[in-house]
Chains A and B, each alone.
Chain A
Amino acid sequence: MRSVKQTTMQKRIQVAFEKNKKELLTIYYTAGFPNLNDTLTIAQTLESAGADLIEIGIPFSDPIADGEVIQQSNMVALQNGMSVSVLFEQLSQLRQHVSLPVLLMGYLNPILQYGIENFCKKASEIGIDGLIIPDLPLEEYEQHYKSIFEQYHLAHVFLITPFTSPERIAKIDELSEGFIYMVSSASITGKTQGISTEQKQYFERIANMPLKTPKQIGFGIYDRSSFQTACQYAQGAIIGSAFIKHLQANPSKTPLELLVTQFVKEIKA
């Protein structure tokens, strides 16, 4: 017997990716940035502005898959006092304010220190739908984490890259529940060079694979044009660094809500 809660949660990602839905926008932001207590405000505003999924980053001192912009936001968030427990505290009323699917992204160490079981339990209680843990490899996940994630109904989102073999992609597809995160090129986050022919060939190759799991493209998506290009090959795209940069710059001291709304409207216009 599945609990009511589980059905709701699994539905949130599933509903978001229903077949006729296109150009889904996922926004990544770092919890506790620019200010410690902005976390929930940003999530709420993203929803009202028209984003489709929300990815909240748990800051880490050594984010090896991230470029300078996200590194910097991680550092600021940590200095602001963000931690896993503070984040859970801030999100305790999440589902009273936000109905979009929400994923937590974080490196494995802070999650392990919180306790993997506790972490999953808590995430599940507050209504988190999935987890993205870039340094948790497939093999480890299968052996030691899968059963816990499943127990708490958390979708684990895997990354694939231009160098991921077809066999491995098939395996990832089989294990995936939410969506597959297509890393747009061999790179860390925050590149803004546009999308090359080579990348398009890779997008096309994956688009032509008979995968059961929906896909989103991330890394190097930073404006309306790159977003739309990515959406020709996948159901949606993920923007992180460009959003953080937009929050950071803010020369005219625009209120946070307006800043967030501007960004989303610009991409989805």
Chain B
Amino acid sequence: MLQEKGYYGQFGGAYIPEMLYPNIASLQQQYISIIEHADFQKEFEYLLKQYVGRPSPLYKAERLSEHFQTQIYLKREDLNHTGSHKINNTIGQILLAKQLGKAKIIAETGAGQHGVATATVCALMGMECIVYMGEVDIARQSPNVARMKLLGAKVVPATSGSRTLKDATNEAMRHWINHPDDTHYIIGSVVGPHPYPDMVARFQSVISAEIKTQLQSQVGREFPDYVLACVGGGSNAAGAFYHFLEDERVQLIGAEAAGLGVESGKSAATLALGTVGILHGSKTVLMQTTDGQVVEPHSISAGLDYPGIGPMHAHLADINRATFYPITDEEAMQAGWQLSRLEGIIPAIETAHALAILPKISFKKEDIVVINLSGRGDKDLDTYIRYFELI
């Protein structure tokens, strides 16, 4: 899928200021040889198994399947240590940072899941950690802020722009420009300059590798008919799609956050609303004015509240290899409620967007539908409480 110089079709590349060139060039030159080294693989696999708790279960959701009259399997990334898929990438990148001889780590975070996963691996490896988080997100995801602090990370509020994920990413990049020699930037999604989109996708690809093995043993074939995942930047979707990208028997479906509705002016549905442009170091689809200013997005879920999308997904949409559905706040919240009641699983609101695709597709009874359950909903209790007036 990835072509020369970090492009997926017309998307990708590394549009970075000269100040970041040495760091990005050294990553580009070294990431594959570091990741593919036997010692690296051994340590990565060991930590994923014994520290993260992989493989994550592939669970046949009987009541949900009954409700939608199809065969639904949930890939339980919510059961990973720290509660989401984000830890797969941070384990990989912290090992890489060690190889690169970096002592300090920075990260951006939206919902706080990537921030927590980064703070966790920094504690594990005894590295200094700074996490940039939009002021708005700090307010709506306070349990994760507390977790990061407990883990020893410094949480710095991003106060510019929309004060959400985009602005946290800007601040992290500025910090990296100011501290290029001793610091590694752990980007949490398949966004940013090459090699980040590919590197993060590789670390997350364990999700689809496991799905294949697990389907083989559970249903006797290693591919599903559908894979469903939510997409902000798109890291969990990239991981869930990865080993099926070339397998045309598998339909790849993504859920974007439509906020109050695609046409409401309060949305984060990048592929529905965006055009080709450059943000955070890569050419991709982004929500922008005709004059090239990035539009401030809206979503009830902090993790999807991003005006861009990873270049791989932009390409998959462009060549019609994957289909992306805009899902409103309301649809996502109802889907989260439904999974809680039918399966006893409270999903992250990001993840609930993927679940909300279910009523939009007419599946056959025998279709095997895998949904990447990317995160758990504990961090979103406040939002659930307010939305459904639970207390």
Of all chain B residues, the one with the shortest Cβ separation from A135 is B15
Asked whether A186 and B177 contact (CB < 8 A) given A110-B293, A135-B16, A164-B22, the answer is yes
User: Which of A75, A109, A161 contacts B277 (CB under 8 A)?
Assistant: A109
Of all chain A residues, the one with the shortest Cβ separation from B295 is A61
B15 & A188 in contact (Cβ 8 Å cutoff)? no
Give the total of B residues in contact with A, Cβ under 8 Å. Answer: 33
Q: Which residues of B contact A138 (CB under 8 A)?
A: 18
A84 & B292 in contact (Cβ 8 Å cutoff)? yes
**Bound: A71/B159 CA distance, A:** 11
User: Which of B160, B180, B277 contacts A163 (CB under 8 A)?
Assistant: B180
Q: Which residues of A contact B281 (CB under 8 A)?
A: 135
Of all chain A residues, the one with the shortest Cβ separation from B167 is A62
The reply to whether the CB of A113 lies closer than 8 angstroms to some CB of chain B is yes
Closest approach, in angstroms, between the C-beta of A129 and any C-beta of chain B?
Answer: 21
Q: Which residues of A contact B161 (CB under 8 A)?
A: 61-62, 75
B278 & A112 in contact (Cβ 8 Å cutoff)? yes
B294 & A158 in contact (Cβ 8 Å cutoff)? no
Closest approach, in angstroms, between the C-beta of A269 and any C-beta of chain B?
Answer: 31
B15 & A140 in contact (Cβ 8 Å cutoff)? yes
User: Which of B18, B280, B291 contacts A84 (CB under 8 A)?
Assistant: B291
Of all chain A residues, the one with the shortest Cβ separation from B180 is A186
Q: Which residues of B contact A112 (CB under 8 A)?
A: 277-278, 292
Q: Which residues of A contact B278 (CB under 8 A)?
A: 107-109, 112, 135
A-contact 0/1 string along B7-20, CB 8 Å cutoff: 00000011111110
Q: Which residues of B contact A110 (CB under 8 A)?
A: 291-293
**Bound: A223/B276 CA distance, A:** 41
Q: Which residues of A contact B275 (CB under 8 A)?
A: 113
Q: Which residues of A contact B21 (CB under 8 A)?
A: 137, 161, 163-164, 168
Closest approach, in angstroms, between the C-beta of B307 and any C-beta of chain A?
Answer: 9
The reply to whether the CB of B263 lies closer than 8 angstroms to some CB of chain A is no
Asked whether A159 and B291 contact (CB < 8 A) given A65-B177, A186-B179, the answer is no
Q: Which residues of A contact B15 (CB under 8 A)?
A: 108, 135-137, 140
- Per the 8 Å Cβ criterion, residues 255-306 of B in contact with A are 275, 277-281, 288, 290-294
A135 & B22 in contact (Cβ 8 Å cutoff)? no
The reply to whether the CB of B166 lies closer than 8 angstroms to some CB of chain A is yes
Q: Which residues of A contact B17 (CB under 8 A)?
A: 64-65, 134-135, 159
Asked whether A67 and B181 contact (CB < 8 A) given A84-B291, A113-B292, A135-B15, the answer is no
B291 & A62 in contact (Cβ 8 Å cutoff)? no
The reply to whether the CB of B69 lies closer than 8 angstroms to some CB of chain A is no
The reply to whether the CB of B174 lies closer than 8 angstroms to some CB of chain A is yes
A109 & B279 in contact (Cβ 8 Å cutoff)? yes
The reply to whether the CB of B334 lies closer than 8 angstroms to some CB of chain A is no
The reply to whether the CB of B170 lies closer than 8 angstroms to some CB of chain A is yes
A113 & B277 in contact (Cβ 8 Å cutoff)? yes
B-contact 0/1 string along A64-85, CB 8 Å cutoff: 1111000100010010000111
Of all chain A residues, the one with the shortest Cβ separation from B22 is A163
- Per the 8 Å Cβ criterion, residues 162-188 of A in contact with B are 163-165, 168, 183, 186-188
**Bound: A159/B180 CA distance, A:** 16
- Per the 8 Å Cβ criterion, residues 10-63 of B in contact with A are 13-19, 21-22
B181 & A71 in contact (Cβ 8 Å cutoff)? no
The reply to whether the CB of A33 lies closer than 8 angstroms to some CB of chain B is no
Q: Which residues of A contact B279 (CB under 8 A)?
A: 62, 109
Q: Which residues of A contact B291 (CB under 8 A)?
A: 83-85, 110, 113-114
The reply to whether the CB of A111 lies closer than 8 angstroms to some CB of chain B is yes
B-contact 0/1 string along A81-112, CB 8 Å cutoff: 00111000000000000000000000111111
Q: Which residues of B contact A183 (CB under 8 A)?
A: 18-19
B292 & A109 in contact (Cβ 8 Å cutoff)? yes
5 contacts between A and B (CB under 8 A): A83-B291, A137-B14, A164-B18, A164-B21, A187-B177
7 interchain residue pairs of minimum CB distance: A113-B292, A110-B292, A159-B18, A83-B291, A134-B17, A61-B293, A61-B294
